[in-house]
Amino acid sequence: MEKITNYQLFSLMVLFQIGTSSIFGFAASAGKDAWISIALSTILGSFIIAMYIVLMRLNPGLTLVEWFPAQFGRWIGTPISWLYPLIFIYDAGRGVADLSYLIPSTLLPRTPPIVTVGLFMLVVLYGVYHGIQLLGKMAGLFLPIIFLVFIVETILLFASKIVRLTYLLPVLDLGWGRVWGAVWPIGITQSFAETIEFAMIWTLVKPKKKVMTTSLLATLSVGIFLASLDCLAISVLGEDIFQRSIFPVYTLIQQIGVGDVIENVDVIGVLYITVNAFFKISLHIMMATLAIQQLTYIKNRKVILFPVVFTAIFVGLTMSTSIVEHIYGVAFKILSPYFWVPLFLVLPGILLIVIWIKKRIFKITS
């Protein structure tokens, strides 16, 4: 039986929740008030994650896809459970699509996306093949490096004398409308509500009693990280460029220049891209594989792994025809309100209510 420590859980959750948000600019539609949207998303996301952990404790020893059959019965609960590995595979495909647009636009403009994506997915396949323990150990190794690189990046930006904190002012001059628009539904569901996937491995954490504290600390850390990153980007690029740029954080890194000594530090952007995308896609595929294994009672999950990876690659390379359609046409207008909200918020909420009603009825009858 595989198991992971609370530090490994913390590292996995932080890298998962950051994902490609660190490159695309989290809550960029809120402009210079993006940090407020991130703060609100983090607070609400923490309550949602706490709800997931309460559900785990109310279903001791069961994973996400076992909750619904246990409470709704096999005929209703099992079809609902199948929706989760399907959305996990689709989300992995979105990560593949992110890379297929991001890498040619920034790092390797002359390399066909199928080549870069194919090589990257081979590394993902290797990591997932060896299990959650390996991913946990890798996350524990890379997380301090990511934080250290962020600190170095911040120091270099200030040393370049291009940071203008006045760009963050005035606060809320256009009201709460665009701030809330960046929070609901995309700000809450992207990264934070997606953490429901970890309900597939919370049963493997030792000791289990610290899962709530670890998960909420990870979410708070991600909120602080993303807010700081956005504030840096706005302070350097200005609100207009921050909002209009597809990859504002990568653009931010390109501005670093300390004299004639420290320039062209695009390697920082490469590190953000590869590390966060690796863990985001790997965990989507890992959770989908574990879910399908439990729903089909297949003993060896590695039999499922290859079809899941190939499906994610196919979905990622065919889901959209442009980066604008990929981000705004699909994620903002379709995926978040019509798929993420029902699966990550509505169904778990209904499940919690059903369990509460059952416990009340049992208490009254006993």
264: left (phi over 0), alpha (psi -120 to 50) or beta: left
d(CA 246, CA 319) in angstroms, rounded, equals: 18
Domains, the chain, with CATH or none:
6-365 (1.20.1740.10)
Read off the DSSP letter of residue 346. Answer: I
What is residue 103's predicted lDDT score, i.e. its pLDDT?
82
Q: What type of residue is 6?
A: N
CA Rg value for the chain? 21
Give this prediction's pTM.
Answer: 0.95
What is residue 258's predicted lDDT score, i.e. its pLDDT?
65
What is residue 46's predicted lDDT score, i.e. its pLDDT?
97
Q: Is 60 exposed, middle or buried (0-12, 13-18, 19+ CB in 10 A)?
A: exposed
Task: List the chain residues with pLDDT less than 70.
Answer: 1, 257-265, 366
